[in-house]
Chains A and B, each alone.
Chain A
Amino acid sequence: DTGVSQDPRHKITKRGQNVTFRCDPISEHNRLYWYRQTLGQGPEFLTYFQNEAQLEKSRLLSDRFSAERPKGSFSTLEIQRTEQGDSAMYLCASSSGGLAGLARTQYFGPGTRLLVL
């Protein structure tokens, strides 16, 4: 069994361009999370899915950000009209967990490092 995978691992883009990242969770995990980490800080929660439903979004997630998990498997995170402040590591994590139950340990992918010039 492979762990959480993310693609691409690195992305350099110019300000104003759109970028899309992909995350493939551990296959039996129904919860998928996106976090953002800037240098010297802990990860910050962006959003999470239970199967295909997006259950919560952070206030950090501006209108330029959108995330999907169309079939409850992989997820994409798109940033439109990128800004230099979007430069960060974008981490995806997955866990098991039920609607009324508690989430289990989150396992993180290798991250996508974004640099906006």
Chain B
Amino acid sequence: ELKVEQNPLFLSMQEGKNYTIYCNYSTTSDRLYWYRQDPGKSLESLFVLLSNGAVKQEGRLMASLDTKARLSTLHITAAVHDLSATYFCAGGYKLSFGAGTTVTVRA
């Protein structure tokens, strides 16, 4: 069964600075997903990464995948308050989720 570990679990960001969330997974997964969850809300799909070296970008968020290292990263550029949320990575056909990274962006 796929195990997914994220770090850090909590991330306090300063507006305007850059940060990275790391996602390690235990076994081969054909694709890796990133989701965002706002407090009390459901999950919003951000990215799906399909192959080694894949890079996807949307606004201030960029996700990448290294299948050899079994590592995905979510990079946040010039953090803004609207990015405050919990971010999950997940893999497998019956999604196995990491514990999530709770991001708080402060002025």
Which residues of A are interface residues toward B (Cβ below 8 A)? 33, 35, 40-45, 48, 56, 58, 91, 93, 97, 102-103, 105-111
Contact = CB atoms under 8 A, between A and B. Distances in A.
A42 B100 contact: yes
B31 interface: yes
Interface residues of B, number: 21
Of listed B31, B41, B97, B99, residue having the most chain A CB within 10 A:
B97
A43 B94 CA distance: 11
B86 to A, nearest CB: 9
Contacts, number: 48
B93 A102 contact: yes
Interface in B43-71: 43-45, 48
B30 A45 contact: no
5 contacts: A41-B100, A43-B97, A105-B45, A108-B43, A111-B42
B99 A45 contact: no
Contact of A105 (B48, B88, B96): B48
Nearest to A56: B94
Contacts of A48: 94
Interface string B29-45: 01101010000011111
B94 A45 contact: yes
A35 to B, nearest CB: 8
B90 A42 contact: yes
A107 B100 contact: no
Contacts of B98: 42
Contacts of A56: 94
Given A105-B33, A105-B48, A42 B97 contact: yes
B41 A43 contact: no
Contact of B43 (A40, A43, A97): A43
B34 to A, nearest CB: 11
B31 A106 contact: no
